[in-house]
Amino acid sequence: MSQTTSHTTTDTTEHEVSSPSLDTGLLEEVLLGRWADTRRVSRALAAEDRFHKIEGLTKEQHRERVLGQLHELVAADAVHRAFPKEFGGQDAPGGNIAAFEELVTADPSLQIKAGVQWGLFGSAVLHLGTEEHHRRFLPGIMDLSVPGAFAMTEIGHGSDVASIGTTATYDPAADEFVLHTPFTAATKRFLGNAAVDGKDAVVFAQLITGGVNHGVHCFYCHLRDDDGQPLPGITIWDDGQKGGLNGIDNGRIAFDSIRIPRTYLLNRYGDVAADGTYTSSIESPGRRFFTMIGTLVQGRVSLSGASVAASKLALIGAVTYGNQRRQFNASSPVEEEVIMDYQLHQRRLIPRLATTVALTFAQEKLLAKFEDVFSGADDSDENRQELETLAAAIKPIATWHALDTLQEAREACGGAGFIAENRFATLRADLDIYVTFEGDNNVLLQLVAKRLLSDFAAEFKDADVGALSRYVASQAQSTVLHRFGLRRAIQSVQDTGDERRSANWFKQTEVQRDLLTDRVRQMVTDVAGELRSVARKPAAEQAATFNEHQHEIIQAATAHAELLIWESFTEALDGVEHAGTRQVLTWLRDVYTLTRIEENLDWYLLNGRISSQRARTLSPYINRLLARLRPLAQDIVDSFGYTADHVRMEVASGAEQLRQEEAMEHYRVLRASSDAPVDEKILLKRRQQERRGRRTER
Amino acid sequence: MSQTTSHTTTDTTEHEVSSPSLDTGLLEEVLLGRWADTRRVSRALAAEDRFHKIEGLTKEQHRERVLGQLHELVAADAVHRAFPKEFGGQDAPGGNIAAFEELVTADPSLQIKAGVQWGLFGSAVLHLGTEEHHRRFLPGIMDLSVPGAFAMTEIGHGSDVASIGTTATYDPAADEFVLHTPFTAATKRFLGNAAVDGKDAVVFAQLITGGVNHGVHCFYCHLRDDDGQPLPGITIWDDGQKGGLNGIDNGRIAFDSIRIPRTYLLNRYGDVAADGTYTSSIESPGRRFFTMIGTLVQGRVSLSGASVAASKLALIGAVTYGNQRRQFNASSPVEEEVIMDYQLHQRRLIPRLATTVALTFAQEKLLAKFEDVFSGADDSDENRQELETLAAAIKPIATWHALDTLQEAREACGGAGFIAENRFATLRADLDIYVTFEGDNNVLLQLVAKRLLSDFAAEFKDADVGALSRYVASQAQSTVLHRFGLRRAIQSVQDTGDERRSANWFKQTEVQRDLLTDRVRQMVTDVAGELRSVARKPAAEQAATFNEHQHEIIQAATAHAELLIWESFTEALDGVEHAGTRQVLTWLRDVYTLTRIEENLDWYLLNGRISSQRARTLSPYINRLLARLRPLAQDIVDSFGYTADHVRMEVASGAEQLRQEEAMEHYRVLRASSDAPVDEKILLKRRQQERRGRRTER
């Protein structure tokens, strides 16, 4: 099971281990991580034909197929891990997400529709409802006899959920809430399970009782009668064809003053008594809102994980094809180059491979934090906030990375990458929406930035004015030093032009940590300084200043996310004892880190963190690392542990290799035969030589 | 018709014209360019329902619709501009492409299928065939009674066409060529019109006569009988579902020693006499090959233009929506922010708007060059090569830009961007293949780089060794200067921290030209130096050195393309006399240029071209330019001149504005009414104040 492959690297100038033996079996285990067994169970299901996407179906056919698959998942006991044991679940929130992530390899529509039913609709009842709701609603949700919609997003409000327009007004005379859509923009939109399948829904609305709006709360609500017709007062539209995920029946819902029992309020964090009195265990409406919304973080976590899985499929396809496909014969008159040998191809695929491995570890850390909070092992406020920040940081990076990797892999396979059977294009189309739903990536990064800024502010909360001004002064001084590039002047002189010493510097764990951490700190400090200068100005002016630095703020949040990913990778390295495997993973970590630094090299130069001398050695060093990893690329993608039934790409099937061999054999036989045609170029050269010969004789 | 809109900019620190009045009618004319009339005619057709893509069709339905549309284009006399007048054409190659570009707004499948029929299949007969072929084949091609495939690409060879495996062996006894697919990889693939509609084809094959392979030539060939069945010896497969362009019936074709008349060789550049003697007007087989392939450059030209058109649609959608959509209320407790006011949104959309305008002018220049060559006005070898290099430079930038812009626009519209009716996602899916077909973008950029390197070498062809070594020495010295950042040391001190002076520097045309030109020159010089050092080494070693610098080579080619685009923009500016319009275009040019420089700022710093002091002012200056262009963004996209019938996006329909107004009106009425619910937050604050009050009283 555990295979060891040995590769000799030609470049040992930096005194690396010269021939790392990669234990692919071990690497597979390391990448599978804590929930390896659960992942294997879920992958076994995802390998079955019955769960696979069929390309070219109409949306009606695709929707029907996916609904059927959801029922099969129930029968296979594959989707209840997060639910309480008393209802037949396993109380295993982390394992549940690990299992869901793997479903993306079968069909992203299947993953997302399952996510709507059990991850959103079911989770809302579980986490926002109380015992009575659990007893009454969970069984039907879990066995899919009650498909349901998660009615949060409205046409007018997606990212700013606190401002949704739907109202739930309590009527004490009837002991009922009146659910209402007061204007078009308050229509619920993009809801999976709404257009066709949903019988019930959880609906987010402004809770109004006794003339007071207590903010957004979640309500249970029936949508359709037993014949599948919308109930009186409910209007439903189909969102129609989408850019992808057409196996899901997204739709719009509007409520015309429909009535639901008072007890349909999912009342874990806020309740209304029969007389209309509102009570909540959380006094601050803001904190209450974020607590309620925070229970839904698992959507982000699972999108991030599914994106990592899809990136792996893309790289298995492109690396396998890149190792078999040949084109142009620059270095030999007979044999064509294997395209993976081109530096550009290495540049296109190997950094993405490194980032995918990095994100695997980051996702593992995110899942562990999620398990901690949702299992109750540590569900302190602080830990919940950390989980939310971590998810808000990793999800944007992972989902954008998947789109980028699927696209680069598709282009790296040329026209073949565009054929649906090779799945790059269609996976990309399905995953496209991952970057804006369950939290728009840019909005999430802004949340991360705000957290960084408030942490920064908290450091100085109790400081007296003197301390603060001293800090600002020391910051200013450091800025001056950076501005003049003097800070590391001595270092610059020391390492002028010595590439080996420079590479040794770049690959040090502490150096990498300092470079990534310094960047986040400095960027946050810079922005905080700008914001502090208007702290006592009117809100509009503060907002304007924030806006003037929004681009930098997003960059700071991205830098923070990259640091968190680096930390996960570096922690994971510590756990790998096998020297060869650890070496290969270290190279991958270094490629991940150094390409991030290369990407932001101007910042490091301008802020005096890297000298020009060292900066100049960075790209060549990365290129050498890529060449070193190049012979290991196939082993690494093989260690992702997906089988042909998960990959399902012609480019990864070995067919290209067989075609290459057939063609080479044809030419070998032809060259050996007497009637092989001569190349005109050779004849022409001969004729020219004869002419020159004649001239010389004359 | 010509409207003038006036905007006042708030920031005039750099002494810009303070309120540029943009003449939108004039801007529309400038952007429509030389072939304005033709574009208008083609746009009028593209606005008609019958040519519009319907989302959600099966590939069979879509293919049938597009074939029907092609017949309607013939009836509308819309596709024959490039053909000779004697056959009913207009001998107007440039106008023909301008017209084709616009069809992408109706349906990219329509544009590409028309391109296959008349741009590839028809063009091959026109440019590679001779009079007899024209008389015999052009009428059927032009009136679409003979749909045809362009059978060049094979499974095994896409980019390296010279190495295709299909053979056409002359049999003098029968006066026929034998067309044959000798192994699987030589199967023709990805051919539009092959799977269903193609009656005939032009087939590229190695021409073998008298035991000599004269390289790739093009042959006419019949594919199917009158019942649509493949002729004996011809096997055809359907390429099936694709990532996009499913209105086109791409397929594979294999030939089992089928026979075609000798005269079916399209013999403009090479002929075989009845006795098997080969003759050609071009002695060098290499030059002959590139001449033949070069006639097909129009595919690249029209993909580039269509990509610019698609980018415009994307920006019309996203900018219009960005000006209406509101989300979050940072600066006002009542009104939500228009999302286009967010700096990040400006950063996401306006540089892409600037690049789209830049590419409009670059495409105009490319079309003019194309017209020059193909009209015969200047079809010298040198001009042909310039055309090919220009097309190879612009096509990658334009096609990647379209994918990037469609994606960013889709994300900027959130979930609405993913709904098929808003077209971002489906246009992107259709245009995806543009980056790898008709010349893979990376391969094209490598062609550009090779041209740059050979131009560089040519400069020193006649130089004696002394001159060359002096040159190398002076280069080395300049490298040393850059390495130590000394070259512009005096300049650095002069402009320390003076943002105004720095901005004045960045916006100078000559400075921009120097910065962009210097980068190309230096990068080419650097790579050429590395290549020269192995010039006398074995081919394999030379190839290895080339490969070790492939990443830089592609970067140099990209830098060259960006310079060419800048030159087109700057030349176009010279022709605009209206001061306000010229000012707005100049800002756009500056945003295009400065974001390119910002993207490569590390290079400019490391090579001493921009001082750290100036570099630090660059991003803030760009942000100020974006804020200045922000109020003009709608006028600019409106000046693209597309109507609602071209755009066909709900996000650009004004519906969002109506919904916002309805919601605002609802809240206005509610606030005025007596039973408006109070916000719990306000009550809570009041209660806290009361408590504090009581404490104070005590």
A415 close contact with B: CB closer than 8 A: yes
Contact A203, A260 (CB under 8 A): no
Q: Which of A97, A564, A509 is nearest to A359 (CA)?
A: A564
- At residue B697, the pLDDT reads 62
User: What pLDDT is stored for residue A10 in this prediction?
Assistant: 41
Phi, psi of B105 (to 5 degrees): -70, -25
Q: What is the pLDDT of residue A472?
A: 46
Which pLDDT does position A457 carry in this prediction? 82
pLDDT at A360: 98
pLDDT at B490: 37
Q: Which residues pair with A203 in a beta bridge?
A: A151, A219
Query: Cα–Cα distance between B576 and B574 in angstroms, integer?
Result: 6
Window from A395-404, A529-538, B14-23 with minimum mean pLDDT = B14-23
What's the rounded mean pLDDT across residues B185-212? 98
C-alpha span between A103 and A88 (Å, rounded): 21
For A35-61, b/e burial (b = at least 16 CB within 10 A) is: beebbebbbebbbeeebbbebebebee
Average predicted confidence (pLDDT) for chain A? 91
Confidence of residue B221 (pLDDT cuts 50, 70, 90): very high
Question: What is the Cα–Cα distance from B659 to A435, expressed in whole angstroms?
Answer: 25
In this prediction, residue B18 has a pLDDT band, given cuts at 50, 70 and 90, of low
pLDDT tens figures, B501-511: 888 999 999 99
Q: What is the mean pLDDT of residues B96-109?
A: 97
Mean pLDDT to the nearest integer, B585-611: 97
Beta carbons within 8 Å of B675's beta carbon, 6+ residues apart:
A211
Q: Which pLDDT tens digit goes with each residue over A230-281?
A: 999 999 999 999 999 999 999 999 999 999 999 999 999 999 999 999 999 9
- Residue-level pLDDT at A497: 58
Q: Which residue in this structure is represented by tokens 């009581």?
A: B694
C-alpha–C-alpha distance, residues B497 and B613, integer Å: 6
Where are the extended beta strands (E) located within A280-413?
none
The CA radius of gyration of chain A, in Å to the nearest whole number, is 29
Q: Point out which residues pair with B200 in neighbouring strands.
A: B148, B222
Mean pLDDT on A676-694 = 87
Rounded Cα distance between B40 and B646, Å, is 12
Q: Tell me the C-alpha distance between A313 and A422, whole Å.
A: 10
How far is residue B544's CA from residue B541's CA, in Å, rounded to a whole number?
5
Exposed/middle/buried for residue A467 (C-beta within 10 Å: 0-12, 13-18, 19+)? exposed
pLDDT of residue A7: 46
Assign B11 a pLDDT band (cuts: 50, 70, 90).
very low
Which tens digit of pLDDT belongs to each residue from B403-416? 999 999 999 999 99
| C-alpha dihedral (A275, A278, A279, A280), degrees to nearest 10 | 150
- The answer to whether residue A4 scores a pLDDT higher than 70 is no
- Per DSSP, what are the bridge partners of residue A22? A5
pLDDT number for residue A470: 46
Cα–Cα distance measured from residue B26 to residue B578, given in angstroms and rounded to the nearest whole number: 8
Query: Hey, what CATH topology would domain A32-142 get?
Result: Butyryl-Coa Dehydrogenase, subunit A; domain 1 (1.10.540)
Beta-sheet pairing, A21-23 with A4-6: antiparallel
Q: Give the whole-angstrom CA distance, residue B304 versus residue A354.
A: 33
CATH number for the region B470-638 comes to 1.20.140.10
Output phi, psi for B457, to 5 deg: -65, -40
Q: Is the pLDDT of residue A675 over 90?
A: no
CB atoms within 10 A of CB B317: 29
The residue-averaged pLDDT of A618-627 equals 96
Of B165, B419, B675, the CB nearest to A663: B165
Residue A461 has pLDDT above 70, yes or no: no
B659 closest CB neighbour out of A184, A286, A485: A184
In degrees, rounded to 5, the angle at the alpha carbon of residue A300 between the alpha carbons of residues A296 and A305 is: 135
Asked if residues A456 and A133 have their Cβ atoms less than 8 Å apart, the reply is: no
Mean pLDDT on A562-585: 97
Residue B378: per-residue pLDDT: 95
CB contacts of B612 in chain A (<8 Å) are: 483-485, 605-606
**Quick one: chain B helix, strand, coil %, rounded to 5?**
60, 10, 30
User: What percentage of chain B carries pLDDT values higher than 90?
Assistant: 83
Contact: B155, A342; criterion CB under 8 Å: no
Query: What is the Cα–Cα distance from B5 to A460, expressed in whole angstroms?
Result: 49
Q: Which segment of A70-79, A132-141, A420-429, B469-478 scores lowest on mean pLDDT?
A: B469-478
* Contact check, Cβ <8 Å, B160/A678: no
Is 80 exceeded by the pLDDT of residue B201? Answer: yes
Q: Could you tell me whether strands A251-255 and A234-238 are parallel, antiparallel, or unpaired per DSSP bridges?
A: antiparallel
Q: Is A55 on the interface with B (CB under 8 A)?
A: yes
Q: Is A230 on the interface with B (CB under 8 A)?
A: no
Torsion (CA) A395, A401, A406, A407 in degrees, nearest 10: 130
Helix (H, G, I), strand (E, B) or coil at A240: coil
| Average pLDDT rounded to a whole number, residues A510-534 | 93
Per-residue confidence at B693, pLDDT binned at 50, 70, 90? confident
* Burial of residue A2, with CB atoms counted within 10 A of its CB: 0-12 exposed, 13-18 middle, 19 or more buried: exposed
Please tell me if residue B476 touches chain A, with a CB cutoff of 8 Å. Answer: no
Residue type, A526: D
- Interface check A674 vs B, CB under 8 A: no
Query: Domains of chain B: which residue ranges?
Result: 151-286, 470-638, 654-697
d(CA B41, CA B62): 25
Q: What is the pLDDT of residues B449-459, one digit of tens each?
A: 999 998 888 87
User: What is the per-residue pLDDT for A18?
Assistant: 55
pLDDT per residue as tens digits for the range B325-362? 999 987 777 789 999 999 999 999 999 999 999 999 99
Asked whether A666 and A440 are in contact (CB, 8 A), the reply is no
What pLDDT, on the 0 to 100 scale, is given for residue A539? 86
Q: How confident is the model at residue B19 (pLDDT cuts 50, 70, 90)?
A: low
Q: Does A377 touch chain B (CB under 8 A)?
A: no
H or E stretch including B22? strand B21-23
Collapsing DSSP to helix, strand or coil, A624 comes out as helix
- Whether A208 and chain B come into contact, CB under 8 Å, resolves to yes
pLDDT of residue B696: 66
Of A679, A119, A492, A535, whose CA–CA distance to B278 is shortest? A679
Q: Residue A455: its pLDDT value, please?
A: 87
B329 and chain A: CB distance < 8 Å anywhere? yes
pLDDT at A474: 47
Check: complex ipTM more than 0.85: yes
Q: How many residues does chain A have?
A: 698
Do residues B380 and B332 make contact, with C-beta atoms less than 8 angstroms apart? no
> Token digits for A296?
């839904």
Q: Is A273 helix (H, G, I), strand (E, B) or coil?
A: coil
Over residues B72-83, the mean pLDDT reads 96
pLDDT band at A67 (very low <50, low <70, confident <90, very high): very high
Residues of B numbered 265-304 whose beta carbons fall under 8 angstroms of chain A's beta carbons: which are they? 278, 283-286
Q: How many CB atoms lie within 10 A of CB B47?
A: 18
The whole-number average pLDDT for the span B57-84 is 97
pLDDT beyond 60 at A175: yes
Taking the C-alpha atoms of A550, A555, A556 and A557 in order, what is their torsion angle to the nearest 10 degrees?
Answer: 90
What is the layout of strands, in order, in the sheet containing A251-255? Answer: A188-191, A251-255, A234-238
CA–CA distance, B644 with A530 (Å, rounded to integer) = 43
pLDDT reading at A654 higher than 60: yes
> How confident is the model over A30-55, as a mean pLDDT?
98
**For chains A and B, what is the number of CB pairs under 8 angstroms?**
305
Q: Residue B371 pLDDT more than 70?
A: yes
Measure the CA–CA gap between A318 and A323, rounded to whole angstroms: 9
Say which range, A674-678, B82-86, B475-479, has the weakest mean pLDDT: B475-479
> Would you say how long chain B is, in residues?
698
Selected residue of B526, B602, B607, B628 to mutate for chain A interface (largest A Cβ count, 10 A) = B602
d(C-alpha B376, C-alpha B378), whole Å:
5
Average of pLDDT values for B87-108? 97
B545 contacts chain A (CB < 8 A): no
Å between B603 CA and nearest CA of chain A: 8
Architecture, CATH, for domain B151-286? Beta Barrel (2.40)
What's the CA gap between A514 and A519, in Å, rounded? Answer: 8
pLDDT value, residue B461: 61
Separation between Cα atoms, residue B667 and residue A183, nearest integer Å: 10
Pairing label, strands B176-180, B188-191: unpaired
> A21-30, B273-282, B473-482, B531-540: which has the minimum mean pLDDT?
B473-482
The helix (H) or strand (E) run that includes residue B248 is none
- The superfamily (CATH) of domain A298-638 is Butyryl-CoA Dehydrogenase, subunit A, domain 3 (1.20.140.10)
Tokens 């960075």 identify what position?
Answer: A618
pLDDT score, position B414: 97
In the predicted model, what is the mean pLDDT of chain B?
91
DSSP A652: G
Return the pLDDT at B469.
47
Q: H/E element holding A204?
A: strand A200-209
For the entire predicted model, the pTM comes to: 0.94
Q: Tens of pLDDT along B623-651?
A: 999 999 999 999 999 999 999 999 999 99
Residues 6+ apart with CB under 8 A from A501: A495
pLDDT at B109: 98
Amino acid letter, A420: A
Taking the C-alpha atoms of A642, A644, A648 and A650 in order, what is their torsion angle to the nearest 10 degrees?
Answer: 120
Asked which of A39-43, B288-292, B407-411 is least confident by mean pLDDT, the reply is B288-292
> In chain A, what is the straight-line distance between the N-terminal and C-terminal CA atoms, in Å?
74
Confidence of residue B58 (pLDDT cuts 50, 70, 90): very high
pLDDT-derived band of residue A694, with 50, 70 and 90 as boundaries? confident
Phi then psi dihedrals of residue A204, to 5 deg: -90, 130
Task: Give tens-digit pLDDT for B418-432.
Answer: 999 999 999 999 999
pLDDT for position B685: 86
Q: Is the pLDDT of residue A291 over 80?
A: yes
Encode pLDDT of B129-143 as tens digits.
999 999 999 999 999
Nearest to A215 among B158, B341, B680 (CB): B680
Whether the CB-CB separation of A255 and A233 falls below 8 Å is answered with yes
* 3-class state of residue B218 by DSSP: strand
Alpha helices in B489-578 (DSSP H): 489-494, 499-506, 509-532, 539-548, 550-574
From CA A37, how far away is CA A370, in angstroms rounded? 18
Residue A487, pLDDT above cutoff 60: no
- Cα distances from B207 to residues B213, B233, B593, B659, in angstroms, run 6, 19, 48, 66
What are the CA-CA distances from residue A324 to residues A341, A411, A632, B31, B398 (Å)?
Answer: 10, 16, 14, 46, 30
Residue A533 CB partners (closer than 8 Å, separation 6+):
A545
Provide the greatest CA pair distance for chain B: 121
In this prediction, residues A415-435 reach a mean pLDDT of 97
